[in-house]
A = this chain, B = another copy of it.
Amino acid sequence: MTRTFTIRQLTKELSVTSRTLRHYEDEGLLSPERRGQARIYHGRDRARLTLILRGRRVGFSLAEIREILDLYNAEDQGAAQLEYSRKKFVERIAILEKQKKDIDESVAELKLAVTRADNWLDEHKQLTHPQPRPKMSGYSVMPAGE
């Protein structure tokens, strides 16, 4: 069950443009098989692509993503290389954890704003909006300690 994909299939499935896929190929992030000129993407290409897209969503540059992928697919290298990879991975993890903290703080701030908006709207409701707004669930004020 070694499925293959055309470029069009992948673009639709993962909501990217073909230009983007070719760009990633130019950057060395993908290297699909060629049937003549046409690209044939295999399961592992698709897997790599989802990793790339997720990396992009969490704010990595293509260069960073490429580095990670390169380190990832280099289990055949010596102990020195592997130790280096390990170090890089740990660094990345630290960066991501920091980013999570930033996100938590942003979320806390936004939830606070939502709560404030709710309070204001409750106070000043002059029956402008007879429909009850969906009661906020989980938007309690939690001081962003630390």
> How far is A57 from B99 in the complex, measured between Cα atoms in Å?
7
> How far is A72 from B111 in the complex, measured between Cα atoms in Å?
12
Determine if A124 is an interface residue (Cβ-Cβ < 8 Å): yes
Interface residues on chain A, size class: 35 or more
Closest to A116 in B: B75
* Interface pair B86/A118, CB less than 8 Å apart: yes
* Interface pair B113/A79, CB less than 8 Å apart: no
Closest to A59 in B: B59
Determine if A14 is an interface residue (Cβ-Cβ < 8 Å): no
Min CB–CB distance A94 → chain B (angstroms): 10
* Interface pair B111/A103, CB less than 8 Å apart: no
* Interface pair B58/A102, CB less than 8 Å apart: yes
Give me 12 A-to-B residue pairs in the complex whose CB atoms sit less than 8 angstroms apart, sorted by A's number: A57-B99, A59-B59, A68-B110, A75-B116, A79-B124, A79-B129, A85-B117, A86-B117, A89-B110, A89-B113, A89-B117, A93-B111
